[in-house]
Amino acid sequence: MTQRTKLVLLILFGLLFSISLNAQEVQSFEVNGLKVIFKQNTSNDIVSANMYFKGGVTNLTEKQAGLEAITLDVSSKATKNYPKDKLNAALERMNSQINSSSNDDFSSVSLLCVKQNFDESWKIFTDVILNPSFNEEDLNLEREKLISAVKQVNDNPDALLQKEVSHEFYVDHPYSIEVNGTEETLSSFTSDDLKAYHSDMLETSRMLLVVVGNTTLSDLKSMVNNSFGSIKKGSYVTKMPPEVEMSEPSLKVVYRELPTNYIQGTYSAPERGTDEGYTMLIASSILRDRVFEEVRTKRSLSYAPAAFYRASFSNYGAIYVTAVNPDTTIKVMINELQKMKDEPISEKELTNKIRQFLTGYYMGNETNQSQANGLAFYELAGIGYKQAVKFIDNVNKVTAADIQKASQKYMKNLQFVLIGNPKELEVSSFMY
Amino acid sequence: MTRSFRIFLLFILISLCGVSVYAQKYGIYKKTLDNGLDVIVINNPAVPLVTVEIDVKNGAYTESPGYDGLSHLYEHMFFKANSKIPNQEAYMERLRELGAIWNGTTSEERVNYFITAPVDSLKECVQFMYNAVTSPLFLKDELVKERPVVTGEYDRNEANPYFHLNREVSKRVWWKYYSRKNVIGDRDVILSTTPEKMKTIQHRYYIPNNSALLLAGDITPEKGFDLAEKIFSKWKRGPNPFDEYKVPEHPPIPENEVVVVKKPVNAVTMQCVWQGPSVGKDPKSTYAADVLSFILGQETSKFHKDLVESGLAYGVSFSYYTLNHTGPITLFAQTSIDKFDACQKAVFDELKKMTDPDYFTNEQLENAKTILATNEQYGRERASQFVHTVGFWWAVAGLDYYLNYIDNLKKITREDIKNYLEKYVVDKPHVLGVLVSPDQAEKVDLILNIKEGEIKDDSKN
């Protein structure tokens, strides 16, 4: 090989390597009080742009339950510069997707498109955010769909279980307000309500923009400046929802004629992004493996035993199962909770678990959209997006002693909800 | 720059891009081993993971009534003892050592098993999958223990009201060979199955010339093919199962039928199903079907405006599920009891109008093709999921169908869509299912002009 060809090879390899490094770099800048987080990814042609609105249900009174969700939903139907048909035709022509969603902690309007259509899609995306029409007929149509969706939560035992769990766990807490509204509140909103609420939302101190994809920092800065450079800044401060502590265990039974029982036991859990938060991630994952092995593999008591740690600003951990014999099954699961407290896990189990957990983490970060949501969660939770980048390091620091300590501290006073019609029920089995 | 240097540069660039004689589209590469095993490598190094997946041409379509649900039970048994691993506990322990996340699925015409793990576990993962697929033991004790787990899955399905709607409609659409579409299967068959039946399935279908190995993620085709050759070439080929165990053709639906399913629900749901094309026999109609579905899915379409924007339905869809042994064409609509009558009339009026020349615009036709193509692009972003899509197409239609899918969609004309509708939908027998709460069922019965005893009352099941 000649010197010249070696040089060419070196340049080619260098180019590939630098692309790969750049793809990992997360940057941020501010325009008119709007914080923007940007991660360039040139390995595909997709761009994910997401505007988050802070506060979630902490912005709402009980009578306003669902107002933020319906406001964003209707806002994407028609805008000042894109009446309904023009908006839909443009999005369909490009297959650019604009969606809104709301959870207890924040709401978002998201854009997914290919880079060739980013400029044109951005115009629609920003018009949806800045200039929605809030037509009466759009509101009425969406209202009917949303009321139907709220009612249909009762048709699905898993959805109903999560609703009941939330009611039992978050008593006198901001999360007790239904983020998607109730039949009553959704029926009451007028288009003026939506317009007024939207006007309040539209201040840069209440917003966060996260873009991941195949575009450049300079292009993005210019686009953000043109679109959001002159809206009001405001002085919004996020009110973080308080942690929940339970002083005693409980069981609520919701009777339904079902072929099996849907059960979840919920306990207080630490904040995400703290040392205890990383520990609880691993502890929950170990608990999940153990209940799977004891309940499903060894005893065939259930198809679906699980354990998890909710991803919100005020958290719970939980064990979950569907079983025809609730007493027997829950005893086995609680025994596993107790073992987490009594016996430190082995180094081998910890090492393997962290390795497996990180596989799941990477799988959850394969798309630009999922990476944007991950960065946004960290930023909105007050942890800071830079910590999101250190996620793997923080998980690797978790020790067996940390897990035992966190299990002892948190895995107690379980708030159980059971949906079904069990033949027998020994309430004491659930009192843990 | 000299000519020889340009050629050299081209060679280097090709090497860097990992292109080989097996090169295909979208970073997908295929090679067939001497034993007939198709090896498919999907190169996407976005994250340092690799997914190892086995796909087998097995599933409900291979099941006579005596085997109804056993492809699915077999899928559960895959994650248990084999010649190298003594039991399920050890199996799970090994997966944790590999850092692997695992699962399997069973559908009408495909069963797949997959583990996703850090790329440094690749070789061990491929070896692990080889052991699992080639040497399952079907220990009696493990089989007996797994039966209630599968019926537990069955219980969860039955707790979902839409499962009942789908089952009642499917039983009537595939009236003669229902077991060939019934993935979850029959409880009694599941509870009484034996290791011998599992072995029958293994010897018949779990052979390399009826399977594919897919490797997706941070892996080059050269590395993937090399590993596959070293580890999987020992797997002994067998006779093509479909030569001896032919899949019977589903006879047409004899006449239009209505079934009302009564469950405690808060909306009225219509599911209307026709027998659609088989991809092997009529591929052109499958492309036309997909394009039509994505025309109707557009919010600017007449279909959406007349049914959803009018306020008659909360949502509607008209879709075709691609299968090689008669895929269903399904119309879904959801509404309230007050609007049910107007909605069901409007739905059938809409069907009559679909072959009108002005039912959709040229722009909507082209948009549908763009949407399908871009959705594929979005789907490819996630290698650990995209591998399942590729495996599905391999099993149902062949990999070439998928690789040429977008090109063939582009060729679809209005005439093709009209032909598809006339061949499979317009004036063709269908089964209409309606899911409604028991207290509102009488109104639905009246609207549909159903006499008592004429149709099945599912609430008595």
Interface check A2 vs B, CB under 8 A: no
* CB atoms A89 and B300 under 8 Å: yes
Region for residue A134 given its phi and psi (left: phi exceeds 0; alpha: psi -120 to 50; beta: otherwise): left
| Partners of residue A214 on adjacent β-strands | none
Q: What distances in angstroms separate CA B107 from CA A372, B63, B212, B392, one per listed residue?
A: 33, 12, 16, 9
State the angle between helix axes of B140-158 and B161-173 in degrees (0 to 180), rounded to the nearest 10.
100
Dist CA A288 CA A360 (whole Å): 14
d(CA B151, nearest CA chain A) in Å: 8
User: Which pair of tokens denotes residue A288?
Assistant: 């999940």
Please give the interface size between A and B, counted as residue pairs whose CB atoms are below 8 Å apart: 169
Domains A25-228 and A250-430 share a fold: yes
Query: What is the reported pLDDT for B447?
Result: 87
Pairing assessment for the beta strands B111-118 and B28-32 based on DSSP bridges: unpaired
B6 three-class SS: helix
Helix A347-363 to helix A275-291 angle (10° resolution) is 100
pLDDT, tens only, A209-254? 999 999 999 999 999 999 999 999 999 999 999 999 999 999 999 9
Cβ neighbours of B331 (radius 10 Å): 22
Q: What is the mean pLDDT of chain A?
A: 93
End-to-end CA distance of chain A: 72
pTM: predicted TM-score of the whole model, two decimal places: 0.92
Residues pairing with A211 in the sheet: A38, A49
* Cα A110 from chain centroid (whole Å): 14
A363: nearest CB among B89, B160, B384: B384
In this structure, are residues B280 and B442 in contact, taking their beta carbons and an 8 Å threshold?
A: no
In terms of CATH architecture, what is A250-430?
2-Layer Sandwich (3.30)
Chain B CB contacts of A145 below 8 Å: 314-315
Q: How far apart are CA B313 and CA B296, in angstroms?
A: 14
A260 with B155: Cβ contact below 8 A:
yes
Q: Which pLDDT band, with edges at 50, 70 and 90, does A24 fall under?
A: low
The residues with which B261 forms a beta bridge, in sequence order, are: B435
Collapsed DSSP state (helix, strand, coil) of residue B166:
helix
Burial A193-229 (b: 16+ CB within 10 A, else e): bbeebbeebbbbbbbbbbbbbbbeeeebeebbeebbe
Query: Which residue in chain A is spatially nearest to B459 when comparing CA positions?
Result: A257
For chain A, give every domain's residue range: 25-228, 250-430
Q: How far apart are CA B369 and CA B412, in angstroms?
A: 9
What tens digit of pLDDT does each residue of A323-350 get? Answer: 999 999 999 999 999 999 999 999 999 9
Closest CA to B61 of B132, B110, B118, B12: B110
Q: What is the ipTM of this complex?
A: 0.90
A120 vs B: CB within 8 A: no
Integer Cα distance of A329 and B152 in angstroms: 13
Domains, chain B, with CATH or none? 20-244 (3.30.830.10), 257-455 (3.30.830.10)
What was the pLDDT predicted at A15? 36
Which residue in this structure is represented by tokens 């879904």? B332
Whether B152 and A154 lie within 8 Å, measured CB to CB = no
What mean pLDDT comes out for the span A314-319? 97
Confidence of residue A278 (pLDDT cuts 50, 70, 90): very high
Tell me, rounded to whole angstroms, the distance of Cα A100 from its chain centroid.
13
- State both tokens at B74: 């077999």
Per-residue pLDDT of chain B (461 residues; tens, 9 = 90+): 444 444 444 444 434 333 344 556 789 999 999 999 999 999 999 899 999 999 999 999 999 999 999 999 999 999 999 999 999 999 999 999 999 999 999 999 999 999 999 999 999 999 999 999 999 999 999 999 999 999 999 999 999 999 999 999 999 999 999 999 999 999 999 999 999 999 999 999 999 999 999 999 999 999 999 999 999 999 999 999 999 999 999 999 999 999 999 999 999 999 999 999 999 999 999 999 999 999 999 999 999 999 999 999 999 999 999 999 999 999 999 999 999 999 999 999 999 999 999 999 999 999 999 999 999 999 999 999 999 999 999 999 999 999 999 999 999 999 999 999 999 999 999 999 999 999 999 998 888 887 654 554 444 33
Q: How far apart are CA B159 and CA A251, in angstroms?
A: 21
SS3 A246: coil
CB atoms under 10 Å from CB of B320, counted, come to 23
Rounded to a whole number of angstroms, the distance from the CA of A189 to the nearest CA of chain B is 18
| pLDDT for residue A146 | 97
Task: Identify the residue whose tokens are 């299990």.
Answer: A407
HSE (side-chain half, CA atoms, 13 Å) at A12: 15
With contact defined as beta carbons under 8 Å apart, do A69 and A76 qualify?
no
Rg (CA), chain B: 24
Chain A residues with CB under 8 Å of B382 CB are 366-367
| Three-state secondary structure call for residue A389 | helix
Chain A residues near residue B161 by CB distance under 8 angstroms: 155
| Amino acid B17: pLDDT | 39
Burial B171-202 (b: 16+ CB within 10 A, else e): bbbbeebbbbbbbbbbbebbeebebebbeebb
**How far off is chain B from A146, nearest CA to CA, in Å?**
9
Dig out the tokens for A113 from the structure. 């498109």
Q: What is the CATH number of domain A25-228?
A: 3.30.830.10
Q: Are strands B431-436 and B257-262 parallel, antiparallel or unpaired?
A: parallel
